A and B are shown apart, each in its own frame.
Chain A
Amino acid sequence: MFAKLAWTEIKLGLREPTVMVFAIAFPLILLYLLLNSFGTLPDPDFAGVSPADYYVPAYAVGSVVATGLIALPVHLAAYRERGVLRRLRASGIAPWSVLIAQTLVAALIVTAGAAIMIALGTASFQLSAPTSWTVVVGGFALATATFCAVGVALSSLLPTARAAQVIGLLLFFSMFFISGGGPPEGILPDGVALVADALPMSYAVDVLQRGWWTGAWDATGLAVQAGVLVVAIAVALRRLRDA
């Protein structure tokens, strides 16, 4: 039964891909522009690695964050607003199974997005292979789970798709450019770096970059994301139970 629902959601996602495509295309285009401007040489400003090694992991996380904070809540809030979730629930299809099916679709899409970014970096910008695939894949999976959970929690708090879109965009842009999508951490002004430290996206980027460059797990990054994940799931469960 869950498979049927997930399959339906995948088909629907393919039929109306605009929001999802935005969540992938926007970071992808920016990444392409940045890599074209910065060349391919290792640079002390980029923590001593090449721009591609710096930005590909950061932008892979960026598309995860865009999907989790914008695409997912807009989609789910629209379902809630229009009574789709109620309609499903009346037939015994629990709201959580819809949420998980959607999260699954989101995971497929961000994985495709990351694959495209890696292909682009490797083909044109001398991207190095990750030192540890395990850490990179694990970190990517944790980031996807965390930001999708935040998206589900957001959709349970926001009354309409329009509200979800505005809040989602605000949250996304308020972290994207200082959490790895913009200037590297090393050259951010101190105050801004401090703000970046308070944003969950920075930690997801840390885990992926550290794994890519050194193969080590970034313990702080894992712990912070795990915390956010737990809180988001708690909020979503509580809100959806009362819904």
Chain B
Amino acid sequence: MIEARTRHAGALPHPAGTVIEVAGLHKAYGDQVAVEDIGLQVRAGEIYGLLGPNGAGKTTTVECIQGLRRRSRGRVRVLGLDPESDGDQLRRRTGAQLQSSALPDRLRVGEALWLFARRHPGAPPVEELGRRWGLSRLWRRPFAKLSGGEQQRLFIALALVNRPEVVFFDELTTGLDPQARRATWELVRRVRDEGATVVLVTHFMEEAEQLCDRVAIVDRGRIVATGTPSELVERADASQRVTFTWPGADAGWLSSVAGVERVTRRGDAVEVAGGGALAVEVAAGLARRGVAPVDFRTHHPNLEDVFLALTGRDLRA
């Protein structure tokens, strides 16, 4: 649903609940096309993900949406504003954590919050923000001495310093260990729960699946699919798999179990693929035969399989 061309730029009514609208977005550097015909709508209060491999054009897309890059053509509105002509006004109402950005090494946590808070008279006091994001203890620590997780926490706090309506996170958890990553996801959920709309750029399938209400899968500068993670998985029609070890000779009965489409044996390792209630049916069959393999595992298709199905390539490649 794309808003009809309007008479003047600037704040204009937009479809209720839509905070970001992008249509026909192109960005080229010389002959190099980075983003081609991207269109998307982000609704108020959701976590919207842009998922794709490195170099797919995700960052270029969000930087055009934020007005940090000039688009070659296309239409972009954020909160009804054009990020190129109303960038200043827009930046007061949005927050951003950028991919591969940094602060001066010797800038201290408290100073960074103080510096970035300067423009936003309605914003909460920086000390409160620091407390809320667990930065009080680090108040006088220089940026260079922060751990990866602490730096990201600071960047999140800086993105929120103006109580923004829309927040952009670009590869927020890249380089973090799994524990810090999970903690960061919790922070992102908190941002949304406090009322902001979140746009999340990531190349981690699991991150998109865990966090996003809706996801756009980006590949080679284009959006190849959009939907909720479960819709995307369903639509891609990738099959479930069950794997286990079974030394028994006769596995013929497996092919006739409800939902089973394919049985593969490699020595004692068995892989059964199919749909429906596959896992339960197979488990029941095994139980009836008095077999209980300890390594019985079910594999549900995920966004990685979706990406593979849509592009024929591996997301991790």
Name the one of B68, B115, B158 contacting A5, with C-beta atoms under 8 angstroms. Answer: B115
Residues of B within 8 A of A8 (CB): 107, 111, 115
B105 interface contact, C-beta 8 A: yes
Residues of B within 8 A of A91 (CB): 91, 95-96, 116, 119, 158, 161-162
Name the one of A4, A15, A83 contacting B106, with C-beta atoms under 8 angstroms. Answer: A15
What band does the interface of chain A fall in when counting residues whose beta carbon is under 8 Å from B? 10 to 19
B114 interface contact, C-beta 8 A: yes
Closest B residue, CB atoms, query A4: B118
B92 interface contact, C-beta 8 A: yes
Interface pair A16/B105, CB less than 8 Å apart = yes
Interface pair B115/A89, CB less than 8 Å apart = no
Interface pair A79/B104, CB less than 8 Å apart = yes
Residues of B within 8 A of A89 (CB): 68
Interface pair A87/B103, CB less than 8 Å apart = yes
Name the one of A4, A84, A93 contacting B104, with C-beta atoms under 8 angstroms. Answer: A84
A189 interface contact, C-beta 8 A: no
Interface pair A90/B98, CB less than 8 Å apart = yes
Interface pair A87/B98, CB less than 8 Å apart = yes
Residues of B within 8 A of A93 (CB): 116
Name the one of A83, A87, A92 contacting B119, with C-beta atoms under 8 angstroms. Answer: A92
CA–CA, A12 to B119, complex, Å? 21
Which residues of B105-155 have CB atoms within 8 Å of chain A's CB atoms? 105-107, 111, 114-116, 118-119
Residues of A within 8 A of B68 (CB): 86, 89-90
CA–CA, A84 to B105, complex, Å? 10
Interface pair B106/A16, CB less than 8 Å apart = yes
Interface pair B114/A4, CB less than 8 Å apart = yes
Name the one of A5, A87, A92 contacting B102, with C-beta atoms under 8 angstroms. Answer: A87
CA–CA, A16 to B111, complex, Å? 16
Residues of A within 8 A of B105 (CB): 16
B66 interface contact, C-beta 8 A: yes
B88 interface contact, C-beta 8 A: yes
Interface string of B67-96 (1 = CB under 8 A from A): 010000000000000000000100110011
CA–CA, A5 to B118, complex, Å? 9
Residue from B66, B101, B119, B161 with most neighbouring chain A CB atoms (10 Å): B101
Closest B residue, CB atoms, query A75: B104
Residues of B within 8 A of A86 (CB): 68, 98, 101
B179 interface contact, C-beta 8 A: no
Residues of A within 8 A of B100 (CB): 83
A1 interface contact, C-beta 8 A: yes
Interface pair B119/A1, CB less than 8 Å apart = yes
Distance in angstroms from B81 CB to nearest chain A CB is: 13
Residues of A within 8 A of B158 (CB): 91
Distance in angstroms from A162 CB to nearest chain B CB is: 16
A239 interface contact, C-beta 8 A: no
What are 12 A-B contacts defined by CB distance under 8 Å?
Answer: A1-B118, A4-B115, A12-B104, A12-B106, A15-B106, A86-B68, A90-B91, A91-B96, A91-B161, A92-B91, A92-B92, A93-B116
A: which residues have CB within 8 A of B? 1, 4-5, 8, 11-12, 15-16, 79, 82-84, 86-87, 89-93
Given contacts A1-B119, A84-B103, A90-B68, 11 further A-B contacts (CB under 8 A): A15-B106, A86-B101, A87-B101, A90-B91, A90-B96, A90-B101, A91-B91, A91-B95, A91-B96, A91-B162, A92-B88
B: which residues have CB within 8 A of A? 66, 68, 88, 91-92, 95-96, 98, 100-107, 111, 114-116, 118-119, 158, 161-162
